[in-house]
Amino acid sequence: MEPSSCIQGDETKKRKLDSTTNNEGSPVASDAMDLKHLLDHHSEQMRRMQSQIDGLVAINSTLQARLDDQAERRVEQVDELREKCDVLESRFGSLERCIQVLKKDVSWTYSAPDIPRSHWFEQGHDEEYADNMEDILNSIKEDTKCVKKKVERYCCGCLDNEGQLAITHDDALLPHFQELADAIQLSDGIREFTVDNIELHPSALRILCQAMEGKVTNFNFCSVRFPGQDLVECFDIIAASIRRNYALERLLWIDNHISSDDQADLIIESVMDNRSIKDLRLIHCFNQCGVNGCRALAALMTSGRPFNHLDFSDNGLSGIDDVAAALATNPQLEELLMSGKELTDRDAELIAHALKQNTNLQRLRLRGNNITSAGIEKIRTTIYDPSSLNAMESCNHTCWVDCVKGNAIGNYVGALGVNEDDMTPRQRRNRKLYLLLSTRNLDGSNARHLNAELGEEKYTIKLVPKVLHCIKRYSSDKTADSTVPLSITFELIKSWMMPELFENY
């Protein structure tokens, strides 16, 4: 071979070798198999990278959840500290007022000047009014004396003027209010304080409300009138006192008209800010000037505050969509009263749907509304649904409803199976399930219903002993006139899957 031919052959081999390498010196796929291997290699790298990314995302989500949880706990801690600060501030103010009272009167004498009978005549009042005022003043003196003696769990009713001539504001009463307030201020606490059928100006409210802060457990505020020009100031004083009274557990507000949404918001917000109030009764105070109490009631129910008792009776409630929606969220509320004349069958249907979602409400009072037998039936079906065992199991076993009773529902005759007032939810559930089995036993249909509800497949056989056991267990809470458990057991042994049971076991 000639030298020139050898040189050309070497150059050709070199070019082929160069063509099989890339610029970085890495091998390049020379055929389809090598290309597929390279693509698989890159795909595997991508999967590993994606797996690493997913892992980082998961770690980030976990860290974010921890941060959110910590932030939530910090918010709760801040709220708790703020609440404790508010209580301490209120106690400090109460102690400061106690010191002022002690500085003013160390002899504990009743120093308010007597009001002569002629004074009331000069103000244009008659003999009956003067007699009533003498009784009121004597009651103030008596209550002041008892409070100073630190009578345990004392109920202060000296300003309870229910059924008498309405008392109008008079500056001559202020020193007597102050004597009573000073005694309350120095007391260890008053169980109940009632103000009824009296006109109160801001001057009187400041004296009485300040003294009650941190001292009065139950405050009854009924048929109190405020001068029109001072209405806003009066509501401000009352709301501030409610907010600061850390001892207040029950607020009864009856026949004190709330004539605007601003007034309603002020009272409701003060109640929600006060963490000690568990019992709130706002009765016949809304809808006098177009203010609907549903808005206020829904706000309370969705506030996150636990309440034992909310009474919104005689408030002309109408359009309770928001209230029913709030009830369906299962708020921490034990008893709800909406007695009156405005609720209709549509409202009853909304309440029935809400009760299906609610397991906290224990008592619901709807007495006196425009709910007919059709509306009551909607609620009753939520409590007792005999269409199947599953439907009965899913019923509301927690809430006693006053308009759904035993056999008779007003003039409407319905089925048994209501939530009896003196039973636990489990006992009610057991009684209803046993009542359903007893009703079916009357026409011997338990086997047919159980086949339809549980199926006739092989695994159903395993349920037979459990069903027989449940009959005995449910019977412990049956009514006195219910079918005896032996009758139901005999029916099932006679007609429900016994051949299959003995064949397989």
149-185 tens-digit pLDDT = 888 889 999 999 999 999 999 999 999 999 999 999 8
pLDDT digit string (tens) for 204-218? 999 999 999 999 999
Mean per-residue pLDDT for 106-135? 90
Q: Is the dihedral of CA 104, 107, 108, 113 positive or negative?
A: negative
Dist. CA 450–CA 444, nearest whole Å: 12
Least confident among 50-64, 89-103, 399-413: 399-413
Spatial neighbors of 415 by CB under 8 A, at least 6 apart, are 380, 384, 386, 407
Examine the pLDDT at 264 and tell me if it is beyond 70. Answer: yes
Count of H helices and E strands in the chain? Answer: 18, 11
Examine the pLDDT at 17 and tell me if it is beyond 90. Answer: no
For 250-341, where are the alpha helices, taking DSSP H only?
A: 261-273, 293-301, 321-328
How is residue 232 written in tokens? 């806003």
Least confident among 388-397, 412-421, 435-444: 412-421
Least confident among 322-331, 350-359, 434-443, 483-492: 483-492
Length, in residues, of the chain: 505
Q: pLDDT tier at 498 (50, 70, 90 boundaries)?
A: low
Q: What integer pLDDT is reported at residue 171 of this predicted model?
A: 96
Dist. CA 192–CA 177, nearest whole Å: 16
Examine the pLDDT at 134 and tell me if it is beyond 90. Answer: yes
Least confident among 68-72, 188-192, 344-348, 475-479: 475-479
Examine the pLDDT at 90 and tell me if it is beyond 60. Answer: yes
Q: How far is CA 457 from CA 25, 251, 453, 463, 491, in A?
A: 70, 59, 11, 11, 20
Q: pLDDT tier at 410 (50, 70, 90 boundaries)?
A: very low
Least confident among 50-54, 225-229, 249-253, 474-478: 474-478
Examine the pLDDT at 194 and tell me if it is beyond 70. Answer: yes
Examine the pLDDT at 490 and tell me if it is beyond 50. Answer: yes
Q: What integer pLDDT is reported at residue 165 of this predicted model?
A: 93
In 3D space, the residue among 235, 240, 211, 216 whose CA is nearest the CA of residue 225 turns out to be 235
In 3D space, the residue among 384, 389, 459, 480 whose CA is nearest the CA of residue 428 turns out to be 384
Count the Cβ atoms, other than its own, within 10 Å of residue 121.
13
Q: What integer pLDDT is reported at residue 88 of this predicted model?
A: 65
Q: What integer pLDDT is reported at residue 25 of this predicted model?
A: 47
DSSP letter at 259 equals -
Least confident among 41-50, 78-87, 123-132, 345-354: 78-87
What percentage of the chain reaches a pLDDT higher than 70?
Answer: 81
- The domain locations on the chain are 82-223, 429-504
Q: What integer pLDDT is reported at residue 16 of this predicted model?
A: 47
Q: What integer pLDDT is reported at residue 403 of this predicted model?
A: 79
223: left (phi over 0), alpha (psi -120 to 50) or beta: left
pLDDT digit string (tens) for 373-386? 999 999 999 999 99
In 3D space, the residue among 90, 95, 92 whose CA is nearest the CA of residue 244 turns out to be 90
Angle at 136 between CA 151 and CA 147, to 5 degrees: 15
Q: pLDDT tier at 417 (50, 70, 90 boundaries)?
A: low
Give me the helix-helix angle, 261-273 and 293-301, nearest 10°.
20
Whole-prediction pTM: 0.75
Mean per-residue pLDDT for 441-448? 87
Judge whether 251 and 277 are in contact, CB under 8 Å.
yes
Judge whether 207 and 176 are in contact, CB under 8 Å.
no
Count the Cβ atoms, other than its own, within 10 Å of residue 65.
10
Dist. CA 493–CA 407, nearest whole Å: 31
Q: What integer pLDDT is reported at residue 269 of this predicted model?
A: 95
Dist. CA 436–CA 416, nearest whole Å: 10
Q: What integer pLDDT is reported at residue 409 of this predicted model?
A: 33
Judge whether 469 and 483 are in contact, CB under 8 Å.
no
Q: What integer pLDDT is reported at residue 195 of this predicted model?
A: 97
| Mean pLDDT across the chain | 84
Mean per-residue pLDDT for 233-238? 96
Q: Between these two residues, 146 and 74, which has the higher pLDDT value? A: 146
